[in-house]
Structure 1
Amino acid sequence: MSQEKEETEKPKLEIGGAVRFNYVNSSWKKEQKSKGGEFGYDMIAIKPKASYKKLSLNAEYRFYSEAFGGGFLKQGWVAYHFNNEDQLQLGLVYVPFGIQQYNSNNWFFNITYYVGLEDDHDMGLKYVHEDKNFEYAFAFFKNAEETKFTGGEENDASRYAYDVVGRNKETNQVNGNIVWKFGDRTNHRLGFSAQYGQLYNLDTQKNGDHYALALHYEVYYDQWNFKISLNKVAHNLKNAADQPSDRVQMGAYGTPYEVAANFNIYTLSASRKFKINWGPLEQIEAYNDFGWMQKKKDEFDSSLMNVIGFKVTAGNLLTFVDYAAGYNHSWLGGNFVDDFSTGTPNAKWEARFNINVGYYF
């Protein structure tokens, strides 16, 4: 065996990560407004990557403050690469649904993230294919992140992405996502996503179900990008008689809240990149991301979100400057527990000015 061949077959390990800090000034918090905002620690991430022959590892563990759930695994999977186009991933893998990987441009994501439809990761097996004209992925998820295995416990809300928690648990979910890529100077990505799974209820010991469908489209032209998605979601719960079935409990970052059982979500995003040469600054990307959650029950009021801002790139240093406004949005003022379920008719729009500074290595 040649020396070159021996070198290529040696295991490789790369350790990356991030350190982030956050400035925030919220319209609904009198203390922050009086002090001119607050500046503090956001999170530290460790991101190991490894490879050996046709195997690879991709993982990320994040450390937040205890108030935001503490430490948890964002993602972590082992992959087998059949060739340059096809691979099989096993572990806490990215859920193939909607615009990949983000249906947004800003630090807050779009409203899809807050109901488990953006940048979600679950425990399962995923097949991924990518070529010049098509990308598609199919996956089976046994469940969301599990940290307790004795049986009968509710899922812990200390996790990165939103999952069903409380008295219901996600199980036996299948996902499919396909994207057709076309165009030359103008690049188009037209896609369709679907997911279906069971919801096991701890009280009745019966399985309900849930499904989601999405039609999504992206276009890239010069330095411009536009994204649009249409999403339909339904949860059919087998709750105990004294528990409502028109809402489901979801959780992340250590705290659960209610989400309407049935809803549609419409999102629209636009961004433009500007190359600059101001000392270490290399690029500014300006954007606006909008999302509308239309709840199917007439008595429930809509939830809306709009984020306008820009991202500044300086080598490995990324800075997001965002003005995020929300209507019946749990993380943007209002009543945290039921904003995404019943909501409040004629609620007041609230806003948060946010600057996130992160060094990624």
Structure 2
Amino acid sequence: MKKILLLLFLPFLNYAQDKPIVDIGGALRYNYLYTSWNGDQKDIGGDFVYDIFRVNAEARYKGVYLNAEYREYSPAFGGGFMKSGWMGYSFNEKEDIHIGLTQVPFGIQEYNSFNWFFNLTYYTGLEDDHDMGVKYMNKGEKFEYQLAFFKGSELFDLGGASEVSSNRYAYDIVGRNKEINQFNGKFVYKTGEKFKHRIGLSAQYGGLYNIDTKEVGNHSAFALHHEVFHKRWNLKTSLITARHNPINALGQSREVVQMGAYGFPYEVASDYEMYTAAISYNLPVSLGPISNLKFYNDFGYMDKQASGFKNTAMNVTGVLVMAGDMYIYVDYAAGYNHSWFGGNFTNELGEGNPNLGWEARFNINFGYYFLTDNKSR
């Protein structure tokens, strides 16, 4: 316990930096979309709509630093909420600690994809997830590892009886179950010169507290992931297994869990294997303000374990156009039994529908990213 307290309060005992540094940035984004399943939208040639306005804040003073991002979506997509917000401290060039709403160390990061839609992992809470807890990171030349404990996902109401809201950026368990006391570990081995490899193993295990039964079930996920860089090429692959064991009230299925984000909850199969592959190629150009084109294809497949459940697939082909501080994603995204691609939104990632075929969405996201680090998405 003494060592833990020392880690938490060590930032306030080291005063290497005398002057505070504060950076404020953000982004404004819009979407043009044309979908295969919306007849009314086809009649008007698609929609051009507001996506988000976001604000990023970074600060550093006397060795302690802050990183936060607040996003404002339209009311139809959850309105405003935090994506992330944490305080940190660097012990040295290799070691850091984060406390607050920080990214969960699981799988390929920062993203397991290249496109604007992310990969299928995002829609089941296993890509770019952020939860409330503490995370330790150690990054060496050959090895990296992260260890974390999360008390829960981002919550807006206190007490065990309060349902988890779907108004959030990343997908978490919502409704009558809530994620509690989750442990994460991630290990990456780095090797190669001409072909640079990042070979990793991730694991997470936590509780699922049920509001009705007041009992705690569990959930777990394990991933083997590999990323390789060669000249302008980047390839990402992962194998994932996930299990959810909620202790629901009598009559409620345990073969699905409810997950939510952007104000919309839906069912996800409790047990599944997932396979993903993403590849990209960077092409430097000089076309007016355009300096680079990144071509990519991202694929994900979800093999559900419950009898009679229909599997889910997703594929996105596109190009990212970089022009100064403007990032333009041009994507052709297709999905089969995927809640965000036509059909019945609530259960396609759960039991699924045997009568559904592939549906597609052509999407152009226009984003201007100002000041700070120009991170897209």
Q: TM-score, normalised by structure 2?
A: 0.93
Q: Does 1:185 align with 2:183?
A: no
Say which SS state the counterpart of residue 285 (structure 2) adopts.
strand
Partner of 2:374: none
Gaps of 5+ in 2: 1-14, 371-377
Q: Does 1:275 align with 2:291?
A: no
Partner of 1:3: none
Q: Report the Cα offset of residue 34 of structure 1.
A: 1.2
Partner of 2:71: 62
Partner of 2:101: 92
Q: Among residues 135, 147, 150, which one is paired with 2:156 in the alignment?
A: 147
Q: Report the Cα offset of residue 161 of structure 1.
A: 0.2
Partner of 1:103: 112
Q: Report the Cα offset of residue 129 of structure 1.
A: 1.1
Q: Report the Cα offset of residue 262 of structure 1.
A: 0.3
Q: Note the alpha carbon deviations across 1:111-135, whole angstroms, 9 max, x for none.
A: 0000000000000000011121122
Partner of 1:137: 146
Q: Does 1:288 align with 2:303?
A: no
Partner of 2:314: 305
Q: Does 1:221 align with 2:230?
A: yes
Counterpart CA distance in 1 for 2:358 and 2:263 is 25
Q: Which moved more, 1:179-188 or 1:226-235?
A: 179-188
Q: Note the alpha carbon deviations across 1:109-168, whole angstroms, 9 max, x for none.
A: 000000000000000000011121122110000000111014411001000000000100
Say which SS state the counterpart of residue 84 (structure 1) adopts.
coil
Partner of 2:215: 206
Are the equivalent residues in 1 in contact too, given 2:16–2:63 (CA < 8 A)? no
Counting aligned pairs with the same residue, the percent is 54
Counterpart CA distance in 2 for 1:191 and 1:78 is 26
Which residue identity is paired with 2:265?
P
Q: Among residues 334, 349, 354, which one is paired with 1:340 in the alignment?
A: 349
Which residue identity is paired with 1:28?
W
Say which SS state the counterpart of residue 184 (structure 2) adopts.
strand
Q: Report the Cα offset of residue 53 of structure 1.
A: 2.1
Counterpart CA distance in 2 for 1:100 and 1:8 is 29
Partner of 1:39: 48
Change (3 A) 1:107 1:241: same
Counterpart CA distance in 1 for 2:17 and 2:65 is 14
Which residue identity is paired with 1:177?
K
Counterpart CA distance in 2 for 1:230 and 1:207 is 27
Which residue identity is paired with 2:212?
D
- 4+ aligned runs moved over 2 Å, structure 1: none
Which residue identity is paired with 1:195?
Q
Q: Note the alpha carbon deviations across 1:224-250, whole angstroms, 9 max, x for none.
A: 011100000000110011211100000
How many residues are paired up?
Answer: 356
Which residue identity is paired with 1:251?
G
Counterpart CA distance in 2 for 1:360 and 1:89 is 25
Q: TM-score, normalised by structure 1?
A: 0.97
Q: Report the Cα offset of residue 346 of structure 1.
A: 4.0
Counterpart CA distance in 1 for 2:329 and 2:138 is 32
Are the equivalent residues in 1 in contact too, given 2:123–2:171 (CA < 8 A)? yes
Which residue identity is paired with 1:146?
L
Q: Among residues 42, 55, 62, which one is paired with 1:53 in the alignment?
A: 62
Counterpart CA distance in 2 for 1:184 and 1:134 is 15
Partner of 1:328: 337
Q: Note the alpha carbon deviations across 1:78-117, whole angstroms, 9 max, x for none.
A: 0011011101100001000000110000000000000000
Partner of 1:238: 247
Q: Does 1:22 align with 2:31?
A: yes
Change (3 A) 1:275 1:106: same
Q: Note the alpha carbon deviations across 1:202-230, whole angstroms, 9 max, x for none.
A: 00000000000000001000000111000
Q: Does 1:319 align with 2:328?
A: yes
Q: Note the alpha carbon deviations across 1:153-207, whole angstroms, 9 max, x for none.
A: 1001000000000100000000001111111121100000000000000000000
Q: Note the alpha carbon deviations across 1:17-60, whole angstroms, 9 max, x for none.
A: 00000000000001211111110110000000000121110000
Which residue identity is paired with 1:307?
V
Counterpart CA distance in 2 for 1:31 and 1:346 is 22
Partner of 1:160: 169
Counterpart CA distance in 2 for 1:165 and 1:242 is 18
Q: Report the Cα offset of residue 348 of structure 1.
A: 1.4
Q: Does 1:171 align with 2:180?
A: yes
Change (3 A) 1:206 1:132: same
Say which SS state the counterpart of residue 42 (structure 2) adopts.
helix
